[in-house]
Copies of this chain bind each other. A is one copy, B any other.
Amino acid sequence: MRRRLDTLVVVGVGLIGGSFALALRAAGYARRIVGVGRRRATLEQARSRGIIDECAEGFDCARGATLVMLAMPVGQTGGVLRALAPHLEAGTVVTDAGSTKADVVAAARAELGARIGAFVPGHPVAGTEHSGPAAAFADLYRGRRVVLTPLPETEPRALAQVREAWQVCGARVFELSHQAHDRMLAVVSHLPHLLAFALVDRVAADPRAQELLAYAAGGFRDFTRIASSHPEMWRDICIANREALLPEIDRYWEHLAALRSALESGDAAALDTVFGRAREARGRWLASGEAPEPPRPATPRASPSAGSGPRS
């Protein structure tokens, strides 16, 4: 039943790519894992953690590979596919883990040409605010959703290969159009990241920032957790999905402006309604079992780290 991968190539060996590799290795599903990245030190770190067997700086290593997983910031997708394309052989399946899909699909169409059928756009809806190989752990995807957004041209064997690999990681695989994916993730992921970055930046820009933070409690800590996420990765995501994200900022602002008006006029009943409705909706979500449990990283980290690799 299990196809077992011969050679897996992971481009970007950070939290997302590294955890994918660790999960497949833990399941005995990949015979040989090659990591590709911009920084030699990061690749060596991934090798020393047992994430990859070999380090590569170019894409020669993709010759004869069973699966290539792209797990660098989405802004690099076009460049990486362009460099990768000449080395792709007929049997090799390519997938990605980017948090946005329309831009990735456009890049794949532009760079892969007739090989587009071997490309399966994907996005694991999982992550932590940490990044780099040290943040990767084999259980990151266990029980979590992975969205695949296959194209009309996607070959069934490519889709089946990628689906199986994610299932081996313990993930639940769903299919959506890339448009539906990008609209939904703008609301529940990209917008909250932008809001959290904006709040921390507002506090950090204050002349009394240190004193303000001294009185910040657990609410602030958790609200802003995602503002510790990888800046380059989130810059790429926001720009890639700005067509969906810009109207979401405006829609959010309408909700906040309505709350602001209620507050200004001292309309206690209106605040009660909104706060109560929000609490109830969140409670139903938690009770539904769809809300993810907090992940258990292999090496808990209190401070942000440099490195590459996208997250949701």
Contacts and interface: CB of A to CB of B under 8 A. Distances in A.
Interface of A: 75, 125-129, 144-145, 147, 184-185, 187-189, 191-206, 208-209, 211-232, 234-235, 238-239, 242, 245-246, 249, 251-253, 255-256, 259-260, 263-264, 266, 268, 271-272, 274-283, 285-288, 290-292, 294-295, 302-304, 312
A230 B239 CA distance: 36
B214 A145 contact: yes
Contact of A242 (B239, B263, B288): B263
B201 A188 contact: no
A268 B227 contact: no
A305 to B, nearest CB: 9
Nearest to A272: B235
A247 to B, nearest CB: 11
A278 B191 contact: no
A181 to B, nearest CB: 8
A3 to B, nearest CB: 28
Given A126-B218, A303-B286, A227 B191 contact: no
Given A127-B217, A145-B214, A239-B271, A260 B251 contact: no
State the copy count for this chain. 2
A110 B202 CA distance: 36
B246 A189 contact: no
Contact of A292 (B193, B218, B230, B260): B218
20 contacts: A127-B218, A144-B217, A188-B213, A188-B215, A188-B220, A189-B219, A193-B219, A198-B274, A201-B281, A204-B278, A204-B281, A205-B277, A219-B225, A222-B226, A227-B275, A227-B279, A231-B271, A231-B279, A238-B271, A242-B263
Contact of A255 (B187, B202, B266, B271): B202
B302 A287 contact: yes
A110 B152 CA distance: 72
A272 B232 contact: yes
A103 to B, nearest CB: 12
Contact of A191 (B199, B208, B217, B264): B199
Contacts of A202: 187, 251-252, 255
A242 B266 contact: yes
Contacts of A271: 231, 234-235, 238-239
Nearest to A123: B215
A279 B225 CA distance: 9
